[in-house]
Amino acid sequence: MEPAVSYRVLVDAWSRRPRGQVKDTYRSNRVALRAMEQSNFARRPDVALALGIAISILVAHASALWWGGAGDLLGTSLLLWLAIASLLWDKRETFAVESGIVSSAIGLGLVGLVTVRNFSPEGFHLRISPLLAFLGLGLLTVGARHLHRYWKELLILGMLALGPLYELTLNIINLPNLTATFSSFALWYAGFDVAREGLNIYLPGGMVEVYGACSGVGSIMQMTNLAVLFLLLFPTNWAQKIACVVVGIALGFAVNAGRIGWLAVLAAKGDRAAFDYWHGGNGSLVFFAFNVLLFWGFVWLTVLREPQEVPQLQVDEDLPRGELDERDI
């Protein structure tokens, strides 16, 4: 949408101003124009329709997760939806309903299918339904021709749908055995009298068994999702992309292995209350927060601290004082 105020008018008006006021006046007018565009954007009926359908999809998904007892998946899903909302907000000025008859029919069918299946106790698939609903919404609004503009949003929901396949891949490499080996080595290096037999870690006074739920699959999946979201939201080069994913997976594995070692120490001390706290509930969330803190520390040092070039308003020195070159606007 082109601004209603002509830049030629602004140039003529600013040509009589002192140079010190040019930059401030330009910025204030740009802020006013952007606020006007955003206000008009929010009042568009096509935007209101798409926003209403998207919110309905989000509420249905969150409700299904809540009532289905999938609390761990609920947190991950909310994080993914927030990333999608951020990406869609960045595209708000280019959004327009451009769907044809065929695309609209297919999209309406997908949205209707997910809506109808939501009324069945087991009909709303917790991982696949959001992807189908968003795909239907995209076909219903922008059409198949422009759906590629939203590949990042589809990729995020695709990660949610392909979660079980990723989990199966991690289980194939015998992750519990690797976790038990790493935890035992860490305890030995720290000076503990530790012994390992298969998936069992023995300390004088107690032992722990590393079974599927404690193998670190959930932690690795969460950190992988976080790394991919970072790559989609922030500009990075190929080396940084690979490093972020590798570091995210490594942190998910290492921090969980450290958690298993800590649980072995608590089991050896016979502190049942502390063991239960760190084994599940709030204690496990502390380790996840520590994981996130370490990852963001890494990306801050390697990616976000790189200097960014900020465009500056330049005034041609050849012009008389107080005049602004139209090329700089």
- Do 208 and 292 have their domain in common? yes
Q: How many CB atoms lie within 10 A of CB 102?
A: 11
Domain extent, residue 253, equals 169-304
Q: What is the pTM of this model?
A: 0.72
Considering the domain boundaries, does residue 199 fall inside one? yes
Q: In the chain, what is the greatest distance between 2 CA atoms, to the nearest angstrom?
A: 86
Instruction: Give the separation between CA 8 and CA 329, rounded to whole angstroms.
Output: 10
Considering the domain boundaries, does residue 311 fall inside one? no
- Do 173 and 292 have their domain in common? yes
Considering the domain boundaries, does residue 256 fall inside one? yes
Considering the domain boundaries, does residue 75 fall inside one? yes
Give the DSSP H or E segment for 210: none
Give how many domains the chain has, as a whole number: 2
Instruction: Give the separation between CA 152 and CA 222, rounded to whole angstroms.
Output: 18
Considering the domain boundaries, does residue 206 fall inside one? yes
Q: What is the pLDDT along the chain (329 residues), one digit of tens a residue?
A: 444 444 444 445 444 555 545 445 545 555 444 544 444 545 566 666 677 777 777 777 777 777 766 666 777 888 888 888 888 888 877 777 777 888 889 988 888 888 777 666 554 577 888 888 889 888 888 888 888 888 999 999 998 888 888 888 888 888 888 999 999 999 999 888 888 888 889 988 888 888 877 888 888 998 999 999 999 988 888 999 999 999 999 999 999 999 999 988 888 888 888 888 888 767 778 888 899 999 999 999 988 876 555 445 554 455 445 444 444 44
Task: Extract the runs of DSSP E, i.e. beta strands, from the chain.
Answer: 195-197, 200-203, 206-209
- Do 133 and 93 have their domain in common? yes
- In this structure, the dihedral spanned by the alpha carbons of residues 238, 243, 246 and 247, taken in order and rounded to 10 degrees, is -150
Which residues, at least 6 apart from 244, have a Cβ–Cβ distance to it below 8 Å?
227, 230, 231, 236, 298, 299, 303
SS3 at position 264: helix
- Do 201 and 232 have their domain in common? yes
- Do 155 and 216 have their domain in common? no
Are the C-beta atoms of residues 60 and 132 closer than 8 Å to each other? Answer: no
